[in-house]
């Protein structure tokens, strides 16, 4: 049986409704993955995650390698036990940290050397050990190491990163030994369509279990992001899942689904929640706003999350303004549910051939 099945193709766009099968269960796509970088989604329990509608979450290889360490994760029974999450998990390879921690890294054709942001110790990731670490962590979907580049770099440097990403993907596939884990490759190339085409075509030849689009949401405009996504998705195998990494805002997700993307992850629901920013269908609500001081309404009328069923905007504003940790938790609970409600609506619209009207 195939790992990925397309259940329905939208008649008006490239959007598709799918089912991704993993060792820890099935994921209905398009899907949004909450981010639990170091083994936990900040401020949120696994029960709250499940209640939000999440069916798959993300953790990060680099951060787990530093703390608590691969040996500790193994001794506790693997990543699912550590996170108390019995559904699918995807681990990123650490390639994004080459971008986000660029001042602490050195990269060459062999791999990436990090000066740990925790204690300064040298940490080395290459194509092979990034796979072996993820094999040991035990995630359901693991990623090839790639070189994620900053926005606006020159073409020669971008081309070198693409060549490196392809070589590392070839090495990663050879190193991957676990038949229970799906391995995804990552297409790089910035906004350069020629390099995106080259990278996608070379990776498609290697027949990975899925394909990610990396190197976006790093400073480019929404229009340029979607132009690049639209170009890239059409180059990837139609029968494999497509994952847009680190995205994003609801407007980005809707446009990318129309272009044929199946999977997303982003820290926005919880990061923005911790900063008193709530997503609603009618636009954002700033929860520290003095206009909410006596507001008895929930963050969003009609939302079925625990936060909206039990707390008023005024109460949540109070929690934020007096430093009670319940404020950020409640806002994060709402935002996570908002994203899963959005994805459920997207899936239904695709099934009804109505997504093009969104």
Question: pLDDT by residue (tens digit) across 197-242?
Answer: 999 999 999 999 999 999 999 999 999 999 999 999 999 999 999 9
Residues 74 and 188 in one domain: yes
Residues 200 and 345 in one domain: no
For position 1, what pLDDT does the model report? 41
**pLDDT tens profile 96-135:** 887 788 888 999 999 999 999 899 999 999 999 999 999 9
Instruction: For residue 306, give the nearest of 73, 80, 44 by alpha carbon.
Output: 44
Task: Give the end of a domain, one of 266, 294, 315.
Answer: 266
Contact between 328 and 41 (Cβ < 8 Å): no
Instruction: For residue 32, give the nearest of 223, 215, 234, 269 by alpha carbon.
Output: 269
Residues 98 and 191 in one domain: yes
Residues 88 and 187 in one domain: yes
Please state, in angstroms and rounded to a whole number, the distance separating the CA atoms of residues 62 and 40: 14
- The predicted model gives 164-189 an average pLDDT of 97
Residues 237 and 301 in one domain: no
pLDDT at 87 over 60: yes
pTM comes to 0.97
CA 111, distance to chain mean position in Å, is 23
Task: Give the end of a domain, one of 215, 244, 266.
Answer: 266
For position 100, what pLDDT does the model report? 87
CATH code of residue 40: 3.20.20.105
Question: How many domains would you assign to the chain?
Answer: 2
Residues 123 and 250 in one domain: yes
- The predicted model gives 280-303 an average pLDDT of 98
Residues 165 and 313 in one domain: no
For position 358, what pLDDT does the model report? 64
Task: Give the end of a domain, one of 249, 266, 283.
Answer: 266
Residues 158 and 303 in one domain: no
Scan for tokens 């994004």, then name that residue: 96
**pLDDT tens profile 25-75:** 999 999 999 999 999 999 999 999 999 999 999 999 999 999 999 999 999
Other CB atoms within 10 A of residue 8 CB: 14
Q: 81 is written with which tokens?
A: 């036990």
Please state, in angstroms and rounded to a whole number, the distance separating the CA atoms of residues 32 and 243: 10
Q: 347 is written with which tokens?
A: 């899936």
Residues 298 and 261 in one domain: no
**Domain assignment of residue 320, given as a range:** 267-358
Residues 66 and 126 in one domain: yes
Residue 228, helix vs strand vs coil: helix
92 is catalytic: yes
Residues 64 and 164 in one domain: yes
* Catalytic residue selected from 10, 140, 262, 265: 265
* Catalytic residue selected from 10, 92, 209, 252: 92
For position 244, what pLDDT does the model report? 98
154 is catalytic: no
Contact between 194 and 235 (Cβ < 8 Å): no
Residues 177 and 307 in one domain: no
Contact between 331 and 316 (Cβ < 8 Å): yes
């Amino acid at each position: 049986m195939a790992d990925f099945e397309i259940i329905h193709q939208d008649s008006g766009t490239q959007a598709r409704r799918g089912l991704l099968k993993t060792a820890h269960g099935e994921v209905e796509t398009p899907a949004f993955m909450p981010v639990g970088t170091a083994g936990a989604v900040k401020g949120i329990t696994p029960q709250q995650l499940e209640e939000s509608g999440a069916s798959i979450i993300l953790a990060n290889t680099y951060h787990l390698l530093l703390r608590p360490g691969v040996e500790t994760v193994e001794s506790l029974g693997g990543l699912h036990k550590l996170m108390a999450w019995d559904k699918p998990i995807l681990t990123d390879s650490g390639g994004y940290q080459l971008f986000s921690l660029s001042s602490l890294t050195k990269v060459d054709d062999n791999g990436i050397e990090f000066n740990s942001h925790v204690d300064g110790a040298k940490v080395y990731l290459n194509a092979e050990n990034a796979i072996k670490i993820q094999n040991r962590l035990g995630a359901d979907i693991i990623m090839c190491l790639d070189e994620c580049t900053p926005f606006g770099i020159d073409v020669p440097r971008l081309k070198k990163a693409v060549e490196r990403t392809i070589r590392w993907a070839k090495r990663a596939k050879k190193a991957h030994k676990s038949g229970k884990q799906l391995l995804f490759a990552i297409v790089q190339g910035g906004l350069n369509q020629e390099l995106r085409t080259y990278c996608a075509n070379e990776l498609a030849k290697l027949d990975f279990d899925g394909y990610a689009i990396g190197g976006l949401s790093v400073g480019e405009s929404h229009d340029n992001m979607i132009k690049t996504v639209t170009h890239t998705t059409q180059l990837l195998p139609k029968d494999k899942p497509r994952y847009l990494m680190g995205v994003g805002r609801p407007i980005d997700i809707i446009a990318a689904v129309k272009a044929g993307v199946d999977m997303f992850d982003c820290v926005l629901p919880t990061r923005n929640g911790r900063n008193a920013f709530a997503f609603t269908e009618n636009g954002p609500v700033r929860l520290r706003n003095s206009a909410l001081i006596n507001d008895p309404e929930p963050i969003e009328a009609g939302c079925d999350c625990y936060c909206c069923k039990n707390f008023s905007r005024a109460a949540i504003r109070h929690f934020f303004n007096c430093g009670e940790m319940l404020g950020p938790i409640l806002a994060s609970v709402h935002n996570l549910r908002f994203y899963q409600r959005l994805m459920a609506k997207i899936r239904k619209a695709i099934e009804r051939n109505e997504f093009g009207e969104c």
